[in-house]
Amino acid sequence: MPELPEVETVVTGLKPQVVGKKIVGFKDSGKNLRYALPDFALLLQSPILDVTRRAKYLLFHFENGQTLIWHLGMTGQFHVLPTNQAEAKHEHVTLTFQDDTSLRYRDTRRFGYAGICATDGLSKHIWLSKLGVEPLTADFNAKHLQLMLKNKKISIKQAIMDNAVVVGVGNIYASESLFRAGILPTTASQTLSLQKLKKLNHNIKDVLIQAIKAGGSTISDFVKADGKPGYFSHSFQVYGRDGKACLVCKKPIQRIVQNGRASFFCTKCQS
């Protein structure tokens, strides 16, 4: 599933291709995504003012005060293509612009979903209202982590993947951040000292920034808006490297399953 760096990469790629354009037509494949599709007629003839991100949601802000909210699910992709270009397989939504280009949404598994909301009511929308702080803002710091974790009796890996604590730190980046911070993913979250939390906070930010600069991580289906893969997977130090030598100490990387998700770590470098 695309995580925060992948969604941020998509936002960056789409902005110059769609901002200022008006939707003059739309069509869909007749198949719902995870939920029924919204009424795209609400967006007709109104220019796109901006494309932003909240957690793993793409937000297309329109001049008429509406925002199109889109989650990519596991296999969702956006492409901006000439309107007369033939539809590709698994293309489920086409939003046509006035300049004979169109925004195409492809989704093999159809786990993505979309909705439309008044822009001034976004913070109260059911998909967004309970989200925690953004990890790349000043609000996400060691003191925030200490406050949020003090009564949590779960592992630190689970805690930093909890969207009520901090948004967008998915499975890949949680494993990588914990390795760099020297913290085992199974550590009880409420037992970490402020010093350890400072180190973790720094490394979460650093890993996410590095991943965004690399265009995200392509594991299976993710591609950027230009159709190219992300390259942060070449920088993985633990994720997907179980049985291979730790790049720091040479001990084999371990793999366990926590709450249905694989965790990767080094028993010597992390404690």
Q: Give catalytic residues, as residue numbers.
A: 2-3, 56, 261
Contacts of 16 (CB under 8 A, 6+ apart): none
Rounded CA separation 106/72 (Å): 9
Residue that has been written with the tokens 């633990």 in this structure: 238
Rounded CA separation 157/53 (Å): 23
How large is the C-alpha radius of gyration of the chain?
A: 20
Looking at residue 94, its amino acid is: T
Residue that has been written with the tokens 């630190």 in this structure: 156
3-class SS of residue 240? coil
Rounded CA separation 74/77 (Å): 9
34 bridge partner residues:
none
